[in-house]
Every structure is written in structure tokens, then in C-alpha cells.
Structure 1
Amino acid sequence: MLRLMRLMLYNTGTRQGLVRELRLMQCYLMPDETALRELSEQVIEKLKRLTDAEFAGLEFPMN
């Protein structure tokens, strides 16, 4: 659920844009926010394995 929320929060509409926004967000994390950093890295790694077409086919529920 947290991963989905992260995707929805930082989604720019493109896979590459989302990765860029997640990387930018990581710059603002405090050193003790290791769980959030690890979660973000997991999401980024999964996004890297997707094609742009696969990403475009994802649905992000808003409820």
C-alpha cells in the first residue's frame, strides 16, 4: 500500500519522470529515514524493470 501511495504522490505521468521525482525526494530525506529510503529504492528498481508501455498500462486507484 505504501508503494502505491508513493507512486500516486510522485507520478508525473511517465516512468522516467516518476523515477526522477523519487530520486529528488530522496535528497530531502533525513539520515534516520532509512525505511523510506529503502522503500523508495525498491519502487525505483521495479520501475526500472518496466517498459514505458507497461507503465502506461498501470492504473493508480484514487480511492
Structure 2
Amino acid sequence: MLADEVKDLIQSSYRQLLKSRDLIPRYGQRQMIAEIAKQLAVINPDKADAGDDDAVTGPVCVI
């Protein structure tokens, strides 16, 4: 779960981006940003398997 401070930072950054480029916010974009943020929040880099260079362990998020 994301801390409220992180959520506020993401939301304010998104609003700034929209305002600076005179863009119209869309529901799907907000949903996508929220889902990406949630997935990035659950990544624990300490659980990576250091013994296997070829394997990818844990969640992966490609943007």
C-alpha cells in the first residue's frame, strides 16, 4: 500500500504535467498510473535471488 504522501506527490505531479501541457485528464490514464504505482510499491529488492543471473525473481514493471 502506498503512503498518503506518495499518493499526493503522484497526483500533484500528474496535475502539473496536465496543466503545463494543456492536456485533458482521462479516467483511463489515472487508473493506469494508480496501477503502476501500486505494482512498484510491492517490489522488494532485498528478495532478489543473487545466485541466478539469468532468472528474474519478483515482480517486473515495464513502462
Normalising to structure 2: TM-score of the pair?
0.38
Of structures 1 and 2, the larger Rg is shown by: 2
Larger RCO (CA under 8 A, 6+ residues apart): 1
Q: Which has the higher helix share?
A: 1
Normalising to structure 1: TM-score of the pair?
0.38
